[in-house]
């Protein structure tokens, strides 16, 4: 069945591939991004030329988010699926990131997801159905040294996704989380670096690890055997096509570094927690 799908961060990377893949499957695709008349003008133009509906949306601006969602509902009539994809990355000695840098990253990766979700939920609740797909990371389950700031934001996305999944289940709204491994996208190539270089230098040889680690990381992602970002788009398309209530709470894509094992281990723990709270019924999505 054809659905109206809104994707954030659709100018490039995962968001671009997700948008194009879902549009090719016949869905009405709303590709959103910020700065459609300036920085992302060419991206917006090429997506429009391909038949996608492009809307300006800045996940860090509540008014922008609410205006974009209202525009889609007024002009298309509904939003069936939201893919919270917009995100930024960081890598380096955690202590050397300023509080402003950390706040900026969380503003996109965590608060941005919350802004978009809050904006679309009233219409989904009114229609008694919907799907929210959050793009997290395996770094929301396992920890790499020097990716602590980014990982912290993705751990937060884990908690938000799981709680929303329970809270919305009886309203006919499904929530699922995609956990990608490392893939060659612009987000990783432009990952934020710490600004306090004096603190990096104070770490001595340890402070030099992130640069070497990131160089090896980027080399791996540019080699002949590099993982294909299309994997993420295909995973999202599969989730969209699945019936409500049958989607996994979490889906690892790529080399999980043990994230899939953590998912399997924590699933029964969560079930026991819900049972202890007398809320087991929230684990299953109520049919529309």
Question: What is the C-alpha separation between 195 and 104, in angstroms, rounded?
Answer: 13
Pairing of the two strands 173-180 and 130-135: parallel
Question: What is the C-alpha separation between 180 and 87, in angstroms, rounded?
Answer: 13
3-state SS, residue 285? coil
Q: How far lies 108's CA from each of 84, 87, 116, 219, in Å?
A: 11, 6, 11, 27
Question: What is the C-alpha separation between 163 and 165, in angstroms, rounded?
Answer: 5
Candidate list 53, 150, 164, 166, residue with the active-site label: 150
Decide if 168 contacts 118 (C-beta within 8 A): no
Please name every residue paired with 252 in a beta bridge, in sequence order, or none if there are none.
179
Question: What is the C-alpha separation between 74 and 68, in angstroms, rounded?
Answer: 10
Rounded to 10 degrees, what is the CA torsion of 20, 259, 134, 185?
-40
The secondary structure element, H or E, covering residue 134 is strand 130-135
**Is 18 exposed, middle or buried (CB count within 10 Å of its CB: 0-12, 13-18, 19+)?**
buried
Alpha-helical runs (H) found in 242-288:
259-276
Pairing of the two strands 173-180 and 28-33: unpaired
Q: Please indicate whether residue 188 is annotated as part of the active site.
A: no
Q: Token pair of 258, please?
A: 């043990």
Question: What is the C-alpha separation between 59 and 69, in angstroms, rounded?
Answer: 11
- Residues marked active site are found at 150
């Amino acid at each position: 069945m054809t659905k109206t799908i809104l994707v954030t961060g659709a100018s490039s990377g995962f968001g671009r591939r997700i948008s194009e893949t879902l549009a090719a499957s016949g869905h009405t695709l709303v590709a959103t991004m910020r700065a459609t008349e300036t920085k992302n003008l060419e991206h917006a133009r090429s997506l429009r030329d391909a038949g996608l509906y492009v809307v300006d949306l800045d996940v860090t601006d509540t008014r922008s988010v609410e205006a974009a969602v209202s525009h889609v509902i007024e002009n298309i009539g509904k939003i069936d699926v939201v893919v919270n994809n917009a995100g930024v990355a960081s890598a380096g000695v955690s202590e050397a990131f300023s509080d402003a840098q950390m706040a900026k990253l969380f503003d996109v990766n965590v608060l941005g997801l919350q802004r978009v979700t809050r904006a679309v939920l009233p219409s989904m609740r009114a229609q008694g159905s919907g799907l929210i797909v959050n793009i997290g990371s395996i770094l929301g389950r396992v920890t790499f040294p020097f990716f602590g700031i980014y990982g912290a934001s993705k751990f937060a996305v884990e908690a938000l996704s799981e709680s929303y999944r329970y809270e919305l289940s009886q309203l006919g709204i499904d929530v699922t989380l995609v956990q990608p491994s490392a893939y060659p996208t612009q987000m990783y190539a432009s990952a934020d670096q710490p600004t306090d270089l004096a603190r990096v230098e104070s770490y001595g040889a340890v402070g030099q690890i992130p640069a070497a680690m990131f160089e090896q990381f980027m080399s791996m992602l540019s080699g002949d055997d590099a993982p294909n970002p299309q994997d993420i788009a295909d995973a999202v398309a599969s989730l969209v096509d699945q019936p409500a209530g049958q989607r996994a709470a979490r889906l690892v894509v790529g080399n999980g570094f043990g994230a899939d094992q953590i998912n399997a281990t924590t699933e029964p723990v969560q079930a026991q927690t819900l049972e202890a709270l007398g809320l087991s019924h929230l684990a299953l999505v109520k049919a529309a």
